[in-house]
Structure 1
Amino acid sequence: MTFSVTVLNDSVIIHPPGFYITGLQTLPYISVYIIFLAFVYMVTVLSNSLVIYVSVFNHCLHTPKFLAVGNLAVIDIFLSTSIIPSMIKIFLIKDNFVPFNLCLAQMYVYYAFGTLESFVLAILAYDRLIAICFPLRQNSINTLQSMSFIIGLTWCFTLGIIAFAVGLLTRLSFCNSLTVFSYFCDYTPVYRLACNDYTMQWAVANSLSFLILVVPFTLICLSYVSILVTVFRMKSLDSRVKALSTCTEHIILVTVFYIALITIYNIALYLHFINEDLPLLSLSLASCSPPCLNPIVYSLKTKEIRNRALALVRKTKIGTT
């Protein structure tokens, strides 16, 4: 096995040819779980592709809200693709070696699109905030141009900040163990394998991850505080119910992404004492579920997407008979 050696600022940096992913190896019936994830991946790609297709070709959905929903669908496909195919390769094909550069690429895509998902949930909260709190000025404040600008800004910020965080790993040497105890090339397990210590870089990476998760969730909470204040000022009960009903799908997405992730993470701390692979199992499920559930939630709540899906099903049935 050949290690690559680089000299940077009089420091020798040693990079291995790759890493071995060893998480989830002790769990029974892991192949069944991976087959289940393969099914989840298929549903994720098909349902999100449907959302993208309908959002693009249905002019009724050319609104700021569905621009954000289409953006979420694109993000979900990339996020799911960054992790499930590699898990199939590792646990079904039994090839757990990941080349060094491919490992960093997977890490970058996973964290970049996971971060974009949290930001797009904040953007959708902003859309509901404008629609409910400023209904008369909604069309002038929340336009396609302003929504495109906000989405573009989050993409530029996220892709840049994650590139910086992952780039920190290229300045570390890996000269000892090459075993990554996770289900993919996760940042923390890979960092712990470094044989030199850059405390400042680790602190910066932790600060970035805190900023990326906490800031969107805080914006979502503040948006819903403002929404609830506005709703409870409404005199009619029907108006209150109607206003809150427009937030149903978004509340479900936030619950699935944030609340479920936080809950599973806390449960994982206790599962670690039973079997060290159980936390990885729960976290992998938390990572793979939202991209699959998001388009289903919006498809059930949006008549145009629901009708298009039913039309495709009918066409498929006619073609097979």
Structure 2
Amino acid sequence: MNVINTSVSLNISVVRPEYFFITGLSGIPYTRYHYIFLFCIYFIAVIGNCAVLVIIVVNRSLHSPKYISVFNLALADLGITNAQIPNIVRTFLFESQYISYNACLANMTFVYFFSGTQVLTLVVLAYDRFTAICLPLRYHAIVTNTVMFVVFSAIYALTAVMIIIMVYFISRLSFCKTNVIESYFCDHGPVYRLACNDNSNSASHAKLITGVYLLGPFPIIVISYLAIFLVLSKITNWEGCIKALRTCASHLLVVGLVYLPKTCIYIIAFTTYLSPNARIISSSLSYVIPPMLNPMIYVLNTAEIKDTIRKAFKNRSGPGVLN
């Protein structure tokens, strides 16, 4: 069996490996416990996000702009979980660290697509809270289901284009030196750095993706909450102020879960030495922990979802449709 396949087009030779060898988790002490922990995370994340999706679909009172955003967040979390953890668990169960070239590109596509939509959904939720608190009289005119449909269509289209370009640049790279990926999945950075030809397009696109999905959204969210806190500081009614803050609590917790771990990893990586094992473990957890906790946060902090669950338990003995 040949490990390297070569395709020639327009006098350009592209050397593609038949498979990649993922070594990210192989050197971690007590690897078995990490795999088991990830499997537990997967089980909880799938059940939790599926429950949120079903609750929002079934309960017509939740067919509102805010919960359209929550629905898309749960969908993105479910996508991230399924794009990463099953491949990791497969490695543990079958003791196979190999992944085919095409499967690697597919894995990269889905992980980055759902991660991108997750981050931009947090921006939409911040916009929803900003409008509801700072422009309450105009909220229902500005934030409508139609507007949310257009916004999320744009988010999915933008992310799809960004990821297609990313994968296209990867497909034009030659891998004639090694096919060993030092990560726990087909991560964009470790893959394009393996290339033995010019990878400047991939490197530039990586910076663009970082700007669009990490460095750009976070300041927008921070500015929106600064505006919210400024408005709330002028409210003399403390009960109204606390009620408004409670409506933001779920979103703030989710933003912290998604951004703080990734930000800390980047800061530590640039300022001090971070061992490969520590980097891989922290990176893997920063991807999979938020999808597990996000459903719990919205269920515990959202009265409408808790009321829907209570009604479901009360009516479990007889037929009925939640309204």
TM, length-normalised to structure 1: 0.92
Q: Which residue of 2 aligns with 1:240?
A: 241
Aligned to 2:321: none
**Paired residue for 2:155?**
154
Q: Structure 1 residue 69 and structure 2 residue 101: aligned?
A: no
Which blocks of at least 5 consecutive residues in structure 1 are unaligned?
none
Q: Is the CA contact (8 Å cut-off) linking 1:31 and 1:92 kept in structure 2? A: no
The question of whether the paired residues in 1 share the 8 Å contact of 2:90 and 2:96 is answered with yes
**How many positions carry a matched residue from both structures?**
316
1:88 equivalent to 2:89? Answer yes
CA RMSD, 1 decimal: 2.1
Structure 1 residues 316 and 21: alpha-carbon distance in aligned structure 2, compared to 1, 3 A threshold: farther
After TM superposition, the score normalised by the length of structure 2 is 0.92
Deviations 1:210-245 (A, max 9, x none): 222122112211211211121112232222222222
Q: How far apart are residue 95 of structure 1 and its match?
A: 0.7
Distance 2:86 2:269 in 1: 24
SS in 2 for 1:299: helix
Partner of 1:24: 25
Following the alignment from structure 2 to structure 1, what is the Cα–Cα distance between the partners of residues 187 and 277?
A: 15
Question: The residue matched to 1:92 in structure 2 has which SS?
Answer: helix
Q: CA separation in 2, counterparts of 1:217 and 1:188? A: 21
| 1:296 aligned partner | 296
Residues 99-149 of structure 1 deviation map (CA, whole Å, 9 limit, x = unaligned) = 001000100110111111110000000000110011111111101110111
For residue 250 of structure 2, what is the amino acid of its counterpart?
Answer: E
Could you tell me how far apart the structure 2 residues matched to 1:39 and 1:271 are? 32
Q: Distance in 1 between matches of 2:10 and 2:53?
A: 47
In structure 2, do the counterparts of structure 1 residues 316 and 126 end up closer, same or farther at CA, with 3 Å as the change threshold? Answer: same
The superposition leaves residues 71-103 of structure 1 with CA deviations (integer Å, 9 ceiling, x where unpaired) of 111111111111101111113321100000100
Taking the aligned partners of 1:314 and 1:173, their CA distance within structure 2 comes to 60
Give the aligned partner of residue 283 of structure 2. Answer: 283
Looking at structure 2, the residues matched to 85 and 224 of structure 1 have their Cα atoms a distance apart, in angstroms, of: 36
Mean CA deviation greater in 260-269 or 35-44: 260-269
- Match of residue 43 from structure 2: 42
Determine helix, strand or coil for the equivalent of 1:277.
Answer: helix
Residue 197 of structure 2 corresponds to residue 204 of structure 1: no
| 3-state SS of 2:197 partner | coil
User: Do the aligned residues in 1 keep the contact of 2:192 with 2:199 (CA within 8 Å)?
Assistant: no
Structure 1 Cα separation of the partners of residues 220 and 167 of structure 2: 26
Which shifted more, 229-238 or 29-38? 229-238
**Deviation sequence 1:237-274 (CA, Å, 0-9, x none):** 2222222221000000011110122124444668855x
- Asked if 2 retains the 8 angstrom alpha-carbon contact of 1:89 and 1:95, the reply is yes
Moved more, 286-295 or 202-211: 202-211
- Aligned mates of 2:300, 2:11 — CA distance in 1: 59
Deviation at 1:159, TM superposition (A): 1.1
How far 1:307 sits from its partner (Å)? Answer: 4.5
> Which consecutive residues of structure 2, in runs of 5 or more, have no partner in the other structure?
318-323
